[in-house]
Amino acid sequence: MLLSDIATVVGFDHCLTDPDLRAAYEVDWTGRYRGLSPAVIRPGSVDELSAVLALCHGAGQPVVVQGGNTGMVGGGVPLRGELVVSVGRLGNLQVVSERRVRAGAGATLGRLQQAADSVGAGFGVDTAARDSATIGGMIATNAGGINVVRFGPMGDQLLDAGVVLADGSYLPSLRQTGPDHPAHGLIDLLAGSEGILAVVAHADLTIAPDPAAVAVAMIEVPAARLQSLVAGVGGLPSIYAIELFGGPEVELAASGLGRSAPLSADWLALVECRSDDDPAGALAEVVGDLPAVVATNPSVGRELWLFREALTEGVSRLGIPHKFDVRVPHAGLNDVRASVTAAVPNGTVFVWGHAFSNRDGHPTANLHINIIGEVDDEAVFDVIENLGGSIAAEHGIGTAKRHRADRARDDLAALAEMKRRLDPKRILNPAVLLPDDF
Ligand code: MLT
Ligand code: ZN
C-alpha cells in the first residue's frame, strides 16, 4: 500500500522495486557496506520529496537518504532494510550572483564548479570524487576536501538551505525559520548532521573569484622536517591546499597512472598556492633546501595533482579497503604509519590526507588511512585516540563509527535534542551517527 501510494507520487519508473535496478543503491561504492531495501524512491521535485516523506512518516517507514553514493562510512545504504530515498534527480543549479549559487541536493560538485566558473568564480570545497559526490551528501557529512585549509569545510560555505523534515514539511529557508519553529537553529547543525535531522532539498552556497596566479609543488619531506614545513606552508597567505602522502602511496598512484613517481621520501607534500601576483617565490622560501618539483603552469600543476587524485581508486583496485578517516594532531603524524602497521600485522597500510582540518590554522590533519587485508578496526581507532586524535574527520560517523561517536563528536546531545524535536519516530537515517541509546 505504502509503495503504491509512493509510486503514484513519483511515477512507477522512479519507484524501483526490481532487485537489479535497486542493486547499485544497496551497496556503497567501496563494496564494504551492503543492505537490502524494499524499493528505491527517486523524487523529481521538492514537492515529490515532501509527499514521499509525509507518506513514510504516516506509515512509520524508515528511510535512508542517498546522493551520489560516494560515502565512506555506510551512511547512505539501507543496512536495516530502510527505503532508499535518492535525491539524484534534484540536481537543479542556479547562479544567483557572482557570490552565490543555489544547488539542488542531487547536483554534483563538478556541475556546481562549472556553474561557478561560468561567472568567473570558484567553490571552496573540492575532492577527487567531484563528478559523483552530490551537494546534499557533502553538506550532510560536512566534507572538507583538498581546499579545507583555505575555505574550511562545507558548513563554512553554507549561506542557506531548504530542507524537508521527517513529516514531509518543506522549509524553503532555514535562515528565516523563526524562533517558534521546532527547526529553529537547524541551520547551525545541518552540516555534519548526516541526514538524521532533515533532508537537504537545496542549498545556497558561497562562491568567489579564484586568484589568477598558481604554484603547485610536490615536496620531499623527511619526517624530522614535517611539522615545520607544514606550519610554514600553512601560514602562507596564498595557501590553497596541502596534501600529505608517502612513498607507498605515490608508488600506488604511479602504477595506476602508468607513470613513474616524480619523488619519494618519508612524506610528500603536494602544495597549491594562489594569489593575484606570483605565489611561487614565497612558497620557495618556505620550502628552502627540500627537493621539490614546482609548476607555475596550471596544466603542469594538474599533472602533479594526478598523483594525489589517483589514490582512492588505486587502493580500491587492490581490494575492498578498510577506510579510516581520522583527525590527527601534527605532533602525532610521524607515528601514524608505524603505529597503525603494528596494530594490523596482516594488513597493508596506506596513509594520505589533508594537512589541516580547517582554515583556522589549528595543527590537526584530516588523514585517510586505507588498509587492505585483515583488520581489527577497534585497534586502529585505539591507535588514533592514543595519538591524541579523533576517529572521525570529514567522512562522517555513518554506521561504521557510531558505536564510538561519543568519543568523536561533542555535539551529540544537541543533535539528539534536535532529532527528538524534528523526527520523533526516528525514520530519517535511523542507523546513522547517533548511537541507539541516544
Ligand atoms: C580523499 O581525500 O582522498 C578522500 O576524502 C578519501 C578516501 O578515499 O579515503
Ligand atoms: Zn579527504
Q: What confidence tens digit (pLDDT) does each residue in 276-317 have?
A: 999 999 999 999 999 999 999 999 999 999 999 999 999 999
Residues 6+ apart with CB under 8 A from 384: 324, 326, 328, 336, 390, 391
Of all protein residues, whose CA lies closest to atom 5 belonging to ligand 1?
Answer: 145
Where in the sequence of the chain do the CATH 3.30.70.2740 domains occur?
318-393
Tell me the mean pLDDT in the region 110-136: 97
The fold of the 318-393 domain, in CATH, is Alpha-Beta Plaits (3.30.70)
Of all protein residues, whose CA lies closest to atom 9 belonging to ligand 1?
Answer: 368
Ligand 1 and 130: CB distance under 6 A = no
Cα–ligand 2 centroid distance for 22 (angstroms): 28
Minimum-distance ligand 1 atom for the alpha carbon of 315? 8
| pLDDT for residue 29 is more than 90 | no
What percent of the chain has a predicted confidence (pLDDT) above 70? Answer: 100
Cβ–Cβ < 8 Å for 41, 52: yes
Where in the sequence of the chain do the CATH 3.30.70.2190 domains occur?
213-313
Ligand 1 and 69: CB distance under 6 A = no
Where in the sequence of the chain do the CATH 3.30.465.10 domains occur?
1-210+395-424
Work out the end-to-end distance of the chain between its first and last CA atoms, rounded to an integer number of angstroms: 32
- In angstroms, the Cα distances linking 86 to 7, 40, 76, 280 are 14, 7, 9, 44
CA 235/CA 78 separation, integer angstroms: 43
The fold of the 1-210+395-424 domain, in CATH, is 3.30.465
Tell me the mean pLDDT in the region 43-61: 98
Q: Which of 268, 194, 281 is nearest to 236 (CA)?
A: 281
Let me know how many helices (H) and strands (E) the chain has, helices first: 16, 17
Calculated CA dihedral for residues 239, 241, 242, 244, nearest 10 degrees: -170
Number of CB atoms found within 10 A of residue 185's CB: 16
CA 276/CA 298 separation, integer angstroms: 14
Q: Supply the mean pLDDT for the chain.
A: 97
Cα–ligand 1 centroid distance for 358 (angstroms): 16
Domain 213-313 CATH class label: alpha beta
- In angstroms, the Cα distances linking 67 to 109, 206, 259, 388, 437 are 11, 21, 33, 33, 27
